[in-house]
Amino acid sequence: MDMLFSPHYVKAFFLVMDPYVLTVIFCSAVYGLFVGCIPGLTATLATALLVPITFFMPPVPAVAAIVTASAMAIFSSDIPGALLRIPGTPASAAYVDEAYALTRKGQPELALGAGLVFSVIGGLFGTLVMMAFAPTLADVALEFSSFEYFWLVCLGLAGAVFIGNASVLKAGISLVIGLLVACIGNENPAAYPRFSFGSSELAGGVDLIPMVVGMFAISEILRFVTSLEAPLHVAATKIGNVFGGMWKLTKKYKWPIVRGSALGTIIGIQPGSGPDMAAWMSYAMSKKFSKEPEKFGTGHVEGIIEAGASNNSSLAGAWIPAIVFGIPGDSITAIGISVLYLKGMNPGPTIFLKTPENIYAVFLVFVLANLIMLPLGWLAIKAATKVLLVPRRILMPTILLFCVVGAYAVNNTVFGIVLILVFGVLAYFMEEHGFPVAPAILGVVLGKMMEENFVNSMIKANGNPMAFFERPISAFLGVATLIILLWPVGAWLWKSKHAFR
């Protein structure tokens, strides 16, 4: 409790209560709800499109916009899931059939109400964990040297490759491509213009904004304009009281709510896994521990409650390693981190020493975003049947122009537009060939940090690689990373040995 009354929190409170910041939070909440609600527009896309706008804001409102929009988009993606059986973002995919089954049974308000209320509870749970543990973890991280940071980045990237990807090999290739993109330009230990081929624009490196906008927005537009799917059909036109019976559900399913929130937070903290993984795992866990597992899949609300709490709590959880170590766990946090860097709020343990009020303000924004989700989410559900029918044929060209101008706005040069074209087409073809895009984004965000710590460590160690295992924490992290990296090789050897027998 003392923590909440610390002078930093008081300062942070006034930073957040600024009318400008509150307006930004409100607008980005409405925006996040709108984008998340439209099938095909993901929470990552909502966040990516906001980055060019945050470019022009002071640090706290900029991060507030990202945090609020992503939390809202993750919740509101439940809406098309329940009404159309199309999850707005992958985070809702785990329980989309369950929610749609409830709608077919004439209870869309139950599916949507549970999604809303328990998203809020999960989000607040994750935020409280973040507020309690991030500063403590930062104290520990202050002792870290380049060796520990190198392994932490490796661990984060290994997680991104090994968790939740259909093909580990393709995810690994995508990651290496991202890391190689981060090598472009003269921001390297020798300040030598690498891979710039005489271009002054490339010598400055590839800006993250056009890359993110290209990979998430342009590729999505390309997917839409080439899609052969039939027009959407809304399954319900009338939605009753979404808050009806929620208190009863809270009492009945209190343990699933706590379990979903806790598991979601842990999965969020774990690098490389985000809200979608949290929702899948929590849904599976809910079914396993349920007293009525046979009802799952027939329009039973229990799984929606647990997984809905889980995906929103993981969002806050993912910010813990992002803020404390500067290592994001998924693409949304990677975008958030890039905004922190753009605004000079370089993430890492020292952020709690240099500008603590800013980071505490971010924590408070999480709380506020989750609280306003209740009334705004309710309005979004009420407006849903109209929003879902917003013609995407008009929306997509608008988004395209928005991307163009947003990419131009970064440096006021058209080079940004060339980059969104290149990365948009690249991401489109990568996904068509089964290469996930998220590891590439993480690679670009973490590439410079990884190289800097690698080269600094090598110089300190005089070229001796064993120095990476000499400090205790570094040795632990190094061994953990190697176990994850060598796991598939071990599993393959074990399998082939048994097959031989």
Partner 1 sequence: MKVNDILAGAVLLLLSIAILAYTRTLPNIPGQNIGPAAFPGLLAAILLGCSVALMARGWRARRAGPWVARMEWTRHFDQVRNFGLVCASLFFYSHFSEKLGYFICAFAVLGSLLASLRVRPALVVPLALGITLFIHTLFYKLLRVPLPWGLLERFAW
The least CB distance from residue 81 to partner 1, in Å, is 25
Residue number, 237 or 412, with CB nearest to partner 1: 412
- Angle subtended at Cα 122 by Cα 38 and Cα 133, rounded to the nearest 5 degrees: 125
The least CB distance from residue 447 to partner 1, in Å, is 8
Print the binding letters for residues 49-88 with partner 1: x by CB under 8 A, - otherwise. ----x--x--------------------------------
The least CB distance from residue 418 to partner 1, in Å, is 5
Q: Check binding of 458 to partner 1 (CB under 8 A).
A: yes
Q: At what angle do helices 356-387 and 301-325 cross, to 10 degrees?
A: 150
Sign of CA dihedral 424, 428, 433, 436: positive
The least CB distance from residue 467 to partner 1, in Å, is 13
What is the distance between the alpha carbons of residues 125 and 132, in angstroms, rounded to a whole number?
11
Q: Which two tokens stand for residue 257?
A: 């709510």
Read out DSSP for 159-202?
Answer: HHHHSS-S-HHHHHHHHHHHHHHHT-BS-STT---BS-TT-HHH
Q: Check binding of 409 to partner 1 (CB under 8 A).
A: yes
The least CB distance from residue 451 to partner 1, in Å, is 4
Residue number, 27 or 473, with CB nearest to partner 1: 27
The least CB distance from residue 492 to partner 1, in Å, is 11
Of 43, 68, 44, residue with least CA distance to 365: 68
What is the distance between the alpha carbons of residues 42 and 224, in angstroms, rounded to a whole number?
13
Of 71, 78, 55, 120, residue with least CA distance to 409: 55
Helix (H) or strand (E) holding 32: helix 19-37
* Torsional class of 244: left (φ above 0), alpha (ψ -120 to 50), beta (otherwise): beta
Residue number, 176 or 367, with CB nearest to partner 1: 176
Binding residue for partner 1 (CB under 8 A) from 128, 246, 421, 475? 421
The least CB distance from residue 397 to partner 1, in Å, is 4
Binding residue for partner 1 (CB under 8 A) from 241, 432, 470, 494? 432
The least CB distance from residue 129 to partner 1, in Å, is 35
Q: Which two tokens stand for residue 297?
A: 């899949």
Region near partner 1 per CB under 8 A, out of 101-109, 288-296, 335-343, 408-416: 408-416
Q: Check binding of 358 to partner 1 (CB under 8 A).
A: no
Region near partner 1 per CB under 8 A, out of 112-120, 201-209, 249-257, 393-401: 393-401
Q: Which residue has the tokens 């904004």?
A: 209
Binding residue for partner 1 (CB under 8 A) from 17, 225, 389, 493? 225
Q: Check binding of 400 to partner 1 (CB under 8 A).
A: yes
Binding residue for partner 1 (CB under 8 A) from 5, 166, 198, 226? 226
Binding residue for partner 1 (CB under 8 A) from 30, 374, 383, 455? 455
The least CB distance from residue 201 to partner 1, in Å, is 12
Pick out residues in 158-217 that bind partner 1 (CB under 8 A). Answer: 169-170, 172-173, 176-177, 179-180, 183, 188-190, 192, 194-195
- Angle subtended at Cα 369 by Cα 265 and Cα 322, rounded to the nearest 5 degrees: 45
Q: How many CA atoms lie within 13 A of 261 on its CB side?
A: 20
Residue number, 354 or 393, with CB nearest to partner 1: 393
- Angle subtended at Cα 73 by Cα 235 and Cα 40, rounded to the nearest 5 degrees: 55
The least CB distance from residue 449 to partner 1, in Å, is 11
Residue number, 75 or 147, with CB nearest to partner 1: 147
Residue 182 CA: distances (Å) to CA of 49, 173, 204, 413, 498? 21, 14, 11, 20, 42
404-412 contacts, C-beta under 8 A, 24 or more apart: 405/52, 406/49, 406/51, 406/52, 406/53, 406/209, 406/213, 407/52, 407/209, 407/210, 407/213, 407/214, 409/52, 409/55, 409/56, 410/52, 410/55, 410/207, 410/209, 410/210, 411/207
What is the distance between the alpha carbons of residues 439 and 44, in angstroms, rounded to a whole number?
13
Residue number, 291 or 433, with CB nearest to partner 1: 433
Q: Check binding of 221 to partner 1 (CB under 8 A).
A: yes
Binding residue for partner 1 (CB under 8 A) from 396, 427, 437, 440? 396
Residue number, 6 or 227, with CB nearest to partner 1: 227
Q: Check binding of 459 to partner 1 (CB under 8 A).
A: yes
The least CB distance from residue 74 to partner 1, in Å, is 25
Q: Which two tokens stand for residue 416?
A: 């940004």
Q: Residues in the site for partner 1, rule: CB under 8 A?
A: 53, 56, 169-170, 172-173, 176-177, 179-180, 183, 188-190, 192, 194-195, 218, 221-222, 225-228, 391, 393-394, 396-398, 400-402, 404-406, 408-409, 412, 414-415, 417-418, 420-421, 424-425, 432-433, 450-451, 454-455, 458-459, 463
